A and B are shown apart, each in its own frame.
Chain A
Amino acid sequence: QKEVEQDPGPLSVPEGAIVSLNCTYSNSAFQYFMWYRQYSRKGPELLMYTYSSGNKEDGRFTAQVDKSSKYISLFIRDSQPSDSATYLCAMSAGSTLGRLYFGRGTQLTVWP
């Protein structure tokens, strides 16, 4: 079993839809949870960063962490064509090495 599981999609939605992206994990030591956005042929860009359980909102984006279920989510409200990208979840235990464990990424297309 991989440490982080993420449905690769692809996911295709109309503009204005609410998008839900999810990851599950198995390591209860993970404390820091991230979502990266990666446009085609570009490096991943840190989108959201959350410590421990709870919600964090930034504009149209909301990140949720449920440590009891080992489940994290990213919600995108009022999705735009510019949101079309691959979204990678990542998490870490905060060790000295700073190692991150990534999901495989979900490819999202928002069509006008």
Chain B
Amino acid sequence: SQTIHQWPATLVQPVGSPLSLECTVEGTSNPNLYWYRQAAGRGLQLLFYSVGIGQISSEVPQNLSASRPQDRQFILSSKKLLLSDSGFYLCAWSVNRETQYFGPGTRLLVL
């Protein structure tokens, strides 16, 4: 069966520090991968998606970036965090292009 992992689960970072969040998927090949952010009391905001290794599309201009160095690995990064980057970051995968399955999420607090 397929599983998706995200780490770390929780992260507290100072403003201006770098960020690296990792997502890996097991039990499937060539998935579409997605990064979302969920702010408190708000819906899911799609940040990036990837249909293959090295293929990244951005939905929202910001100081975040994403990379997909391997088929089942998706990384979200920032060189300098802003206070507004705080939130709950979710990784998701899809193979049938009809629905998505989410990871456990990373809670980021920027102070």
Contacts and interface: CB of A to CB of B under 8 A. Distances in A.
B43 A105 contact: yes
A104 B104 CA distance: 19
Contacts of A32: 98-99
Contact of A88 (B44, B51, B99, B104): B44
Interface residues of B, number: 24
Chain B's interface: helix, strand, loop or mixed, by majority?
strand
Interface string B69-102: 0000000000000000000101000101111111
Interface in B41-58: 41-44, 46, 49, 51, 57
A100 B49 contact: no
Nearest to B9: A41
Contact of A97 (B97, B104, B107): B97
A98 interface: yes
A95 B97 contact: yes
Given A46-B99, A94-B97, A97-B49, 18 more contacts: A32-B98, A41-B88, A42-B104, A43-B90, A43-B104, A45-B102, A90-B99, A90-B100, A92-B98, A94-B98, A96-B51, A96-B97, A98-B32, A98-B94, A98-B98, A99-B49, A104-B43, A105-B43
Contacts of B99: 32, 34, 46, 49, 90, 92, 98, 100
A102 B44 contact: yes
A96 B49 CA distance: 12
Given A96-B97, A99-B49, A43 B105 contact: yes
Interface string B19-40: 0000000000000100000000
A95 B57 CA distance: 15
